Chains A and B, each alone.
Chain A
Amino acid sequence: MGRFSLGWAAVSTWAVLVYVFMFLPVAVVVLLSFNASQFGAFPMTGFSFRWFVELAENEAILRAFRTSIVLGLLTAVISTTLGVLASLALVRYRVPGANTISTFLIAPILVPEVVLAVALLLFLNFLGLHKSFALLLFGHVIFTLPFVVLVVQARLIAIKPELEEAAQSLGASPIQTFFAVTLPLMAPAVAAGALFAFTISFDDITGTLFWKPGGVETVPTQIFAMLRNSISPEINALGTVMIVMTVGLPLIGAAVARRLAARSGG
């Protein structure tokens, strides 16, 4: 019995250590973002919102923020639309080579991001095109599509085709059936997919560094550029904002999805 308790205590301690290792750096960033000192490091000299104010007045960061949000939203909209259509085709219709197509759609998750980034650039070069915002968007869509497809497909498989057949037998055309039955039933998955796409896009740096045209910065690349000069406390503040966004959004999304699912009984 004693040995069991000891073992259990060891496991618990280990688990706590793992969590400390994972979250301590995050906690430090958040803590230091409220530091009054002008160095982004310990010791804390006082509590202040100073760095958040400076952040809000920093034109470059605000521009990066706007870029990231526009990019994230567009990525989410395009990825989700394509992902839903692809899932419908793969799950509901008999498509020749469905398995292969499915693998290709999921592949971007498996391929290292750097490889994907370089590949897309080389392809662009081959076509004789220049880097542009559209290319950046294209890259992010490729990158986030698998997540949308995985989530939406899983949900769609669980929706019985009889529901759609019933709707059609009652006089709804295939498109009316989609909007009256299929879409409401898979709404939680569609919302989750869109959130995934937005947060992944918002947070991406590797691909973005390769694809972004000159002069365009997203929040992660802006932080990266700022870090090259010095570790400004502003970065801590920015880090805190990003943590709130990337953690908060999916949590809100999940809560909304749960509410919707509970209401629809699905």
Chain B
Amino acid sequence: MSSVILKDIVKRFGDFTAVHKTTLEIPDGAFVTLLGPSGCGKTTNLRMIAGLLDPTEGEILIGGKRMNDTPIHKRNLGIVFQNYALFPHKTVAENVAFGLKYRKVSRDEIARRVKDALELVQLPHVGDRHPKALSGGQQQRIALARAIVINPDVLLLDEPLSALDANLREDMRVELKRIQDRIGVTTVFVTHDQSEALAMSDKIVVMSAGHVEQVGTPEEVYNAPASEFVANFLGASNIFDAPCTQASAQGATLDAPVFGPVEVAAARAPGVVSGPAKLVLRAEKLQLMPQGAVPTGMISAPATVETVDYQGQTVRYFIRLGERQMQAINMIDERPFAEGEAVLAAFRPRDCAALRGA
């Protein structure tokens, strides 16, 4: 096991810069997620760590050793690909044993380690089958077994869950995290799915257009987004201009339209000073109430329900406050509000975050 360090990495394809100068440190044993929309450079970063792409500039260190000139087959990495990439002409056991054949491991030990790996992914009885005979979820488990059986220094996961259907994806998410905890291998996970990132990671690296937007624990990136992009990418947010009237060590007071002054704690208002600023109000923190309710400790304003997007347990409302449209995602209490209904939109100031305005 080893730490991974990207030092001033740049990757250009011709005139196009896929990854702008990036420095990242992935500590030994950590589960770090590169999160962002497609084309943000997350997969490019992963492929550079893997040795499938050469960085244009900068250094890649694994376990403190410079890896730039080490070819992929000498890096001792486990990679799990989105489409599993199991060898179709080999049985499951041969697939899992593949990496061990290129390491000086005796036959008996190969057999033992393959068996252990298949048990770890809870598929001990499929060794003689061909990958084609397995379901997508099973194939992905085998791909994971094949990657970890070699005791890799780093485990690289390239959107490993996105080819699975929703229910299976959530099961595999738990499973993957369990296995990673168990073997404690440094893991780099690439995904565009914010819930996967939030659920599994020790640290999330949010990327956009080749830049790192924010690095932090799931709570940090969720509660104190460093940019409008992060606030929007991790869940739905209402973001609006709200000039900061007063900033101190305790927090900042923002003058929000419609709602009036809102006090945001300093931890959630990084770098906000008096002047232009933005208020971030998560859709699930904006609570709709019947007209005439008197919420305590909350800031509220009258609103009209415009659209109702019913999702079973929750409902997503688009509401209108004056000339402004906002989103609210609420649990359903008895019945959802109807379209056109007049309501009260309320939130607690401590659920807000603030960004420095442009």
Which one of A16-24, A102-110, A158-166 is at the interface?
Answer: A158-166
- Is A184 engaged at the interface, CB distance under 8 Å to the other chain? yes
Stretch of B77-85, B112-120, B164-172, B299-307 with 4 or more beta carbons under 8 angstroms from chain A? B77-85
Contact of B240 with A by CB under 8 A? no
Point out the residues of chain B lying under 8 angstroms from A264, CB to CB: 88-89
Contact residue among A170, A185, A263 (Cβ-Cβ distance under 8 Å from B99) = A170
With an 8 A cutoff between CB atoms, is B130 at the interface?
Answer: yes
- The residues in B between 81 and 109 inclusive whose CB is less than 8 angstroms from any CB of A are 81, 83, 85-89, 98-99, 102-103
- Sample of 6 more A-B contacts, CB < 8 Å, known A165-B79, A166-B143, A170-B147: A160-B83, A166-B87, A170-B73, A172-B102, A180-B98, A185-B88
Pick from A160, A173, A263: contact of B85, CB under 8 Å: A160
Query: Any chain B CB within 8 A of the CB of A167?
Result: yes
The interface centre, meaning the residue of A171, A263, A265, A266 with most chain B CB atoms within 10 A of its CB, is A171
A161 to chain B, nearest CB (A): 9
Query: In the bound complex, what is the Cα–Cα distance between A180 and B99 (angstroms)?
Result: 11
> A168 at the A/B interface (Cβ < 8 Å)?
yes
Answer yes or no: B160 CB below 8 A from chain A CBs. Answer: no
How many B residues face the partner with a CB closer than 8 A? 30
Q: Is B125 an interface residue (CB 8 A)?
A: no
Instruction: Decide: A181 near B87, CB < 8 A? Known: A169-B77, A170-B150, A265-B130.
Output: yes
Shortest Cβ distance from B72 into A: residue: A168
Query: What are 26 A-B contacts with C-beta separation under 8 Å?
Result: A162-B85, A163-B85, A165-B52, A165-B79, A165-B81, A166-B81, A166-B85, A166-B86, A166-B87, A166-B143, A167-B87, A167-B98, A169-B72, A169-B79, A170-B73, A171-B73, A171-B74, A171-B76, A172-B98, A172-B102, A177-B73, A181-B87, A185-B89, A263-B89, A265-B89, A265-B131
Judged by DSSP, the binding face of A is: helix
Task: Determine how close the nearest CB of chain B comes to the CB of A169; give it in whole angstroms.
Answer: 4
Q: Does B83 lie within 8 Å of A176, measured CB to CB?
A: no
Contact of B89 among A166, A168, A177, A184 (CB under 8 A): A184
How many residues does chain A have at the interface if contact means C-beta atoms less than 8 Å apart?
A: 23
Q: Which of A248-266 contact B (CB under 8 A)?
A: 263-266
Of the candidates A162, A169, A177, the one having the most CB atoms from chain B within 10 angstroms of its own CB is A169
Interface flag for B146 (CB, 8 Å): yes
Q: B14 → chain A, closest Cβ, in Å?
A: 12
Q: Is the CB of B102 within 8 A of A166?
A: no
Q: Which 5 A-B pairs have the closest CB atoms?
A: A170-B99, A171-B102, A264-B89, A162-B85, A166-B85
Shortest Cβ distance from A103 into chain B, in angstroms? 24
Name the residue among B81, B88, B147 with the largest chain A CB count within 10 angstroms.
B88
Q: From residue 140 to 174 of chain A, which have CB atoms closer than 8 A to chain B?
A: 160, 162-163, 165-174
CA A210 to CA B50, docked complex, whole Å: 54
Q: Smallest CB-CB separation from B150: which chain A residue?
A: A170
Q: Complex: how many Å from CA A266 to CA B102?
A: 24
Which residues of B, 126-148, contact A by the 8 Å Cβ criterion?
Answer: 130-132, 143, 146-147
With A185-B89, A265-B131, A266-B89 in contact, is A173–B83 under 8 Å at CB? no
- Which residues of chain A have C-beta atoms less than 8 A from B79's C-beta? 165-166, 169
Distance between A155 CB and nearest chain B CB, rounded to angstroms: 13
Query: How many angstroms between the C-alpha atoms of A170 and B99 in the bound complex?
Result: 4
Chain A residues, CB < 8 A from B73: 168-174, 176-177
Q: Which residues of B contact A169 (CB under 8 A)?
A: 50, 72-73, 75, 77-79, 147, 156
A171 CB → nearest B CB, Å: 4
Distance between Cα atoms of A170 and B81 in the complex (Å): 13
Cα-based distance from A171 to B75 in the complex (angstroms): 8
Tell me how far the C-beta of A158 lies from the nearest C-beta in chain B, rounded to whole angstroms.
11
Would you list which residues of chain A between 86 and 143 have a CB under 8 Å from chain B?
A: none
Smallest Cβ distance from B99 to chain A, in angstroms?
Answer: 3
Cα-based distance from A165 to B88 in the complex (angstroms): 14
A218 to chain B, nearest CB (A): 37
Are A265 and B88 within 8 A (Cβ)? yes
A266–B74 alpha-carbon span in the complex (Å): 29
Give the residues in chain B near A163, CB-CB below 8 Å. Answer: 85, 87
Produce 1/0 per residue, A207-218, CB < 8 A to B: 000000000000
